[in-house]
Structure 1
């Protein structure tokens, strides 16, 4: 959990429940709240000029949603869409800023978290520019696994379908399916009951 639930509540956060496909914010909205996931998952996406969805991240419990935009005066460059039934802590921006000012250790933790996310995002972007499907897919898997403490081989159940991996890498679904099979043969991933473990 990025920030303890009790601390967020003490600064005025409210708990909100959202159903699948609920839009928390749209691309172009002005950031007004800090969001932290308690239960469920949220995807950050964007649609290109052809209407094709590009998934930028799928966020899990304990993670915050686009918190970096609370530090600058910019509009959201992505949509935040509930991926599965979700419970979220929602804190007004002014209260979040006060929480950061009054709790330097929390502020340092948030800065460290942002730095780690940016680091892995750069790595993923580098990998996504590769001509090789396996490099792109491994980049996405590394990025998502980086959110979890357990980094042992095959400890991470990938929360993405083959279609979502395709949307994140710009590959065709058929290419993702073939590449996952190849990665399994190479011992890089395991597939159990159609779930990918990395």
Structure 2
């Protein structure tokens, strides 16, 4: 994403968030650009019954929650630290100034937003029409590219917990576990020391 040195030129501030701490809440107006130095953040919301729906997970060197900065809209979801995390934050005014003064950064942001929109379009179609095995394979293939999972001897390590897989596909953890076992039998993936490889 954006180099930390560049963000610091626009008065960036580093902030520490504890595990489960809320970074911002749904329906609040966007005030800052956030980029992860270390840790993991999830964006989520809840239905009327209190069931959590995870919009996505974000990791080191990724940003999150920036679309409302361009739209004068509120956040469509909450952001929560999944683990102790260090973020670098830039005020909205300074972030928009950074974008205006650095066209190369604008291209980076456009590419990032386009990648996320593509992912959401693909996964929305999968969740509404496809079975569990197909949903998981789509998630794995997209995650390999989007999260830059490393290729190891056994294949690409899908570095997501079973819970995260369920959160991102709308499946229960038990369904994820069954589907993974079935996919292993079909030769679509490998399980080595409880780790999933594609």
TM-score by length of 1: 0.91
Unaligned runs of 5+ in 2: none
Q: Would you say how many aligned residue pairs link Structure 1 and Structure 2?
A: 196
**CA gap 1:13/1:43 in 2 versus in 1, 3 angstroms:** same
Q: Does 1:50 align with 2:49?
A: yes
In 1, Cα distance between the equivalents of 2:29 and 2:55? 19
Q: Deviations over 1:82-135 (max 9, x none)?
A: 001101001000000000000001111111111112112211111111241111
| TM-score between both structures, scaled by the size of structure 2 | 0.91
* Structure-1 separation of matches of 2:46 and 2:35: 24
C-alpha separation between the residues in 2 aligned to 1:124 and 1:15? 33
Alignment partner, residue 159 of structure 2: 158
CA shift in 2, pair 1:90/1:29, >3 Å: same
Q: Match of 1:168?
A: 168
Cα RMSD (Å) of the superposition? 1.7
Give how far 1:142 is off: 3.1
Structure 2 counterpart SS, 1:15: strand
Distance across 2 between alignment mates of 1:173 and 1:150: 22
Q: Secondary structure at the match of 2:176?
A: helix
Equivalent-residue separation in structure 2 for 1:3 and 1:47 (angstroms): 31
Q: How does 1:103-118 map to 2 (within 5 A)?
A: 103-118=102-117
The 8 Å contact of residues 34 and 66 in structure 2, kept in 1 or not, is answered as yes
Q: Which of structure 1's runs of 4+ aligned residues deviate more than 6 A?
A: none
Give 1:184 deviation, angstroms.
1.9
- Distance in 2 separating the partners of 1:69 and 1:19: 24
Tell me: CA distance 1:183–1:147, structure 2 relative to 1, closer, same or farther (3 Å). Answer: same
Please report how far the alpha carbon of residue 30 of structure 1 lies from its aligned counterpart in structure 2 after TM superposition: 0.7
In structure 1, distance between residues paired with 2:128 and 2:150: 25
